[in-house]
Structure 1
């Protein structure tokens, strides 16, 4: 049996969004409970589609470049969520990661598994030195994902952002290439 590609496991495949997957994405991106920790309102179908199909050439060279991956079931190809990498500082090898999953797929370990695949590819293929995630302090699920990935909490930013009327605080979690390899 051939070994899975770096962006696939026995259960999941990470792949670029296409028009069909971007329509499925619009369903969960419109949910208030999905947008709750993202410091933005739920996306309209048009906003969801446009952001999913941005960067079709998959450029990842300059600060701000993003790689967005649909996370689909390996067997059925059904969309369960997404993971994203943003190149923050190319010279220093700094990459921010994030994940958003359909609440219908919660509790199955998909987010941790997909994030692990993404981190592996970023360290191996894109020579990232440090990968970090910023998350709302109230987002316990994302905090647990970071901890399962071996990331350490580096910062607690107090009331650093505004989410409508609510002042939000964030944690910053990170992992270095040498720590991930170990």
Structure 2
């Protein structure tokens, strides 16, 4: 599977991580408001170094359980505003999953939607995926609204599906098919 980076939009550049992104990634992944709905707690500086090392690795996207995570940079300022990820769930079934994490100070500006649309485009048009899902803690209403704005539909609500951070959480699953993407585009 091949894909083209960086991706340029009107306001953003989606690119591979570089060593100098460490401080921004630390600011993102150590923030309890950011990690509230994620699978991990706020990370230590050492854990963020490990995360950055994995982000710097060249990901060929040539097998299941691969992920492409790119830094989202505001073009006007050069500021790191967040990251988006496209996971390969299954090559046989041409399935993927999208995820996004943004600095709270950049919420409400449309950056997450602008970046996520490009990852959906990459998944459907360049990687020829048939179906892309978005999974999230059902209490994360902001992300659910974003997935709906992207044209994804909610397909499932799994009650008390995961035990995270000391409590049972509900999981919502949204999805889009390539045919739906083509119609939307």
TM-score range, shorter chain: over 0.9
1:129 maps to: 130
Residue 48 of structure 1: how far off its partner (Å): 2.1
Deviations 1:99-135 (A, max 9, x none): 0000011110111111001110111111111000101
1:60 maps to: 61
Deviations 1:13-58 (A, max 9, x none): 1001111113211112101111110132111222223223316222
SS of the residue aligned with 1:119? helix
Going from structure 1 to structure 2, the CA distance change for 1:20 and 1:6 (only over 3 Å counts) comes to closer
Report which stretch shifted further, 161-170 or 55-64. 55-64
Distance in 1, Cα, partners of 2:97 & 2:77? 29
Aligned 8 A contact 2:6 2:15 in 1: no
How many correspondences in the alignment? 178
1:104 maps to: 105
Distance in 1, Cα, partners of 2:49 & 2:91? 27
Going from structure 1 to structure 2, the CA distance change for 1:85 and 1:52 (only over 3 Å counts) comes to farther
TM-score, normalised by the number of residues in structure 2: 0.92
SS of the residue aligned with 1:54? helix
2:176 maps to: 175
Distance in 1, Cα, partners of 2:97 & 2:33? 22
Going from structure 1 to structure 2, the CA distance change for 1:17 and 1:6 (only over 3 Å counts) comes to closer
Instruction: Within 5 Å, give how 1:60-79 maps onto structure 2.
Output: 60-79=61-80
Distance in 1, Cα, partners of 2:121 & 2:104? 25
Distance in 2, Cα, partners of 1:141 & 1:73? 21
TM-score, normalised by the number of residues in structure 1: 0.93
1:40 maps to: 40
Distance in 2, Cα, partners of 1:92 & 1:48? 33
Going from structure 1 to structure 2, the CA distance change for 1:45 and 1:58 (only over 3 Å counts) comes to same
Distance in 2, Cα, partners of 1:90 & 1:26? 32
Aligned 8 A contact 2:84 2:100 in 1: yes
Report which stretch shifted further, 147-156 or 13-22. 13-22
Moved over 3 A (4+): none
